[in-house]
Amino acid sequence: MDWLNSHKSKDNRMIPYNHKLAPLMIRNQLHSLIPEGTQHIYVIGIGSNLISGDSLGPFVGTLLSNLFPDHLTVIGNLQSPMDAKSLVPNYARLSLPDNSFVVAIDSVLGSTGYVNSIVIRESSLLPGIGLGNQLPPIGDCSVMGVVLENDPTLQTSLFYTNLHLIYTMATNIAKGISLAIRQYFNYPSNHPILLNG
């Protein structure tokens, strides 16, 4: 659970979570961020499978698992989430090869204008900061779903966040990442973009 600092808005690319072209917009933005020569992409799905508002990362991880085994490794899903307790030891054990690119996924808190949007940022994210945790920055780029306003009085609302919002965000993010990978690594256009086809 990161938080989105509104004064950096010029660095953030905002997409309405339920826009019918959201997967294509995400694909275009991610594809433009993948460095030339990248040989493998890691998706780190950050969050908990016990708190609906913090389950975006694990949802995305589950939807992307085993889709592109030669070019994509997913860490963090609904079965084995990368939450506040497991993130640091698991991430520290990772030995990423050269020419790899890390996409970090997390649900975040943000200013009113960002709520219910997907934001892509060309930088790492700080997981846990929205809930007062201090964890190391993760990722070469960030894909964040803004699920609530950055208001300390609303943090208990994370337990009751609308699962339709989370599921729609997760599906669009997973499709966008999958389309970017399919395009970047020249997979055929009929290659599935989600685990369920």
Q: Which domains does the chain have, with CATH numbers?
A: 2-184 (3.40.50.1450)
Note the pLDDT tens digit of each residue in 70-129.
999 999 999 999 887 777 667 767 778 889 999 999 998 888 889 999 999 999 988 766
Q: What is the pTM of this model?
A: 0.90
SS (H, E, C) 107-169: EEEECHHHCCEEEEECCCECCCHHHCCCCCCECCEEEEEEEEECCHHHHHHHHHCCHHHHHHH
pLDDT, tens digit, 9 for 90 and up, residues 157-191: 777 788 999 999 999 999 999 999 999 999 999 99
